[in-house]
Amino acid sequence: MASGSEHLSPGLSGYLTGHSTPPDDLLRELIAETAERFPDRVRMQIGQEQGTFLTTLAGLMGACHAVEVGTFTGYSSICLARGMAADGRLICCDISEEWTSLARAYWQKAGLADRIDLRLGPALDTLRALPGGAWLDLAFIDADRAGLVGYWDEIVPRLRPGGVVLVDNVLAIRQFNELVLADDRVVLALLPVGDGLTVARRQ
């Protein structure tokens, strides 16, 4: 089962997810196969409410250029790509061939393989190799906490004005939260979604 907003009361968490668009058959199949193949890692998968939020936000923005740091088995990348413009391109950064082999299979099933570019290797190296300038519409960081500052430092300068970066699992990362709060390049909100989701918009 995908992770969710466990810090909320079970009743409230259930009500919120029960009144949000649920995952479709393909995403439910991916949730189940991830749990079967990687039972000790299943909590790395985002919750269904986060997935719906990613699709909605990408659609509202009409995002064409996006980056994901931390792909795991592909749930969040499918949600992002589904919301992007028809000619959109999503660059996914991960280090695991094993995890992302499942993601590749589901990108194919979802009809999204032609718009997702998987780059295996240290994400910081991948981000540093991206073109400079302000061209990114949307970024989603859901990876190792030790690398968050480095990812932030590479992504924010590449966001276009009005571009958005989301950072997952931030409720307990005080130093990072203070750093981004003081970054005058963005305006942000920390939402009680999952284990804390920072939503920052480039000014």
> Phi-psi category of 8—alpha, beta or left, where left has phi over 0 and alpha has psi -120 to 50?
beta
pLDDT at 7: 72
Residue 13, pLDDT above cutoff 50: yes
> pTM (2 decimals)?
0.95
What percent of the chain is predicted at pLDDT more than 70? Answer: 97
Q: Give the confidence band of 3 by pLDDT, cuts at 50, 70, 90.
A: low
Q: Give the confidence band of 171 by pLDDT, cuts at 50, 70, 90.
A: very high
Q: Give the confidence band of 85 by pLDDT, cuts at 50, 70, 90.
A: very high
pLDDT at 162: 98
Residue 1, pLDDT above cutoff 50: no
pLDDT in tens, 19-30: 999 999 999 999
pLDDT at 14: 86
Residue 199 structure tokens: 């939503």
pLDDT at 8: 78
pLDDT in tens, 92-144: 999 999 999 999 999 999 999 999 999 999 999 999 999 999 999 999 999 99
Q: What is the 3-state secondary structure (H, E, C) of the chain?
A: CCCCCCCCCHHHHHHHHHCCCCCCHHHHHHHHHHHHHCCCCHHHCCCHHHHHHHHHHHHHHCCCEEEEECCCCCHHHHHHHHHCCCCCEEEEEECCHHHHHHHHHHHHHCCCHHHEEEEECCHHHHHHCCCCCCCEEEEEECCCHHHHHHHHHHHHHHEEEEEEEEEECCCCCHHHHHHHHCCCCEEEEEECCCCCEEEEEEC
| CA gap 6, 192 in Å, rounded | 10
Residue 90, pLDDT above cutoff 90: yes
| CA gap 120, 179 in Å, rounded | 28
pLDDT at 4: 58
Other Cβ atoms closer than 10 A to 179? 14
| CA gap 94, 113 in Å, rounded | 16
